[in-house]
Amino acid sequence: MRENGFFERLGNSFRNFMYGRYGLDGLGKLILRVGVIVMLVSGFVPNFYVRMTMFVISLGLIIWEYFRIFSTRREKRVKENYRYYSILNAIKGAFGFGPDGNYKFFKCPGCKKQVRVPKNHGKIEITCRNCGTVFTGYTGKRK
């Protein structure tokens, strides 16, 4: 008899159960983190009614996330996650974080292609890589 037979069967059973289900994504991680944080903070609140309200909210968030994890409606969960990331990227971009937060974009007057240059270099001369047109642009204050 093999020593891992029980755990292999258990793993296979769980894999079969999860087949076709959505699983964990970025929005799900956020929901779980917020739920756990609210639950932990509720333990330090002296008022009984506020503590219980926070506990129920945290429990609701965690149950909601497990509903999302075990959901078979993949398309709906993907749309929710896409909306989450689009809002997150908009917030990051507004505060100068993210992949394009350190760049300013200009449209080349020659070929109308978008040109990306670093921010905060003052007035600079920009050469389009596509057509070679040289133009000037203001990228913000020099640091």
CA distances from 62 to 9, 16, 30, 39, 42 (A): 28, 23, 10, 10, 15
23/56 same-domain check: yes
Question: How does pLDDT run across 15-70, given as a tens digit for each residue?
Answer: 898 898 998 999 999 999 999 999 999 999 999 999 999 999 999 999 999 999 99
In 3D space, the residue among 127, 137, 142, 72 whose CA is nearest the CA of residue 106 turns out to be 137
Quote the pTM value: 0.62
pLDDT of 2 > 60? The answer is: no
Residue with more model confidence, 2 or 39: 39
Return the HEC string of 45-95: CCCHHHHHHHHHHHHHHHHHHHHHHCCCCHHHHHHHHHHHHHHHHHHHHHC
Question: Going by C-beta distance under 8 Å and a sequence separation of 6 or more, which residues neighbour residue 19?
Answer: none
Confidence of residue 83 (pLDDT cuts 50, 70, 90): very high
Residues 18, 48: one domain? yes
The predicted structure's pLDDT at residue 103: 82
What value does the mean pLDDT of the chain take? 89
Residue 17's domain spans which residues? 5-94
pLDDT digits (tens, 9 = 90+) for 97-124: 666 667 888 999 999 898 989 888 889 9
Q: In angstroms, how far is the first alpha carbon of the chain from the final one?
A: 70
Q: Is residue 143 part of a domain?
A: no
pLDDT at 3 over 70: no
Q: What pLDDT sits at residue 43?
A: 93
Structural domains counted in the chain: 2
Going from the C-alpha of 81 to that of each of 37, 78, 90, 106, 138, the distances in angstroms are: 21, 5, 14, 30, 36
Question: What is the C-alpha separation between 101 and 126, in angstroms, rounded?
Answer: 19
Residue 85 sits in the same domain as residue 115: no
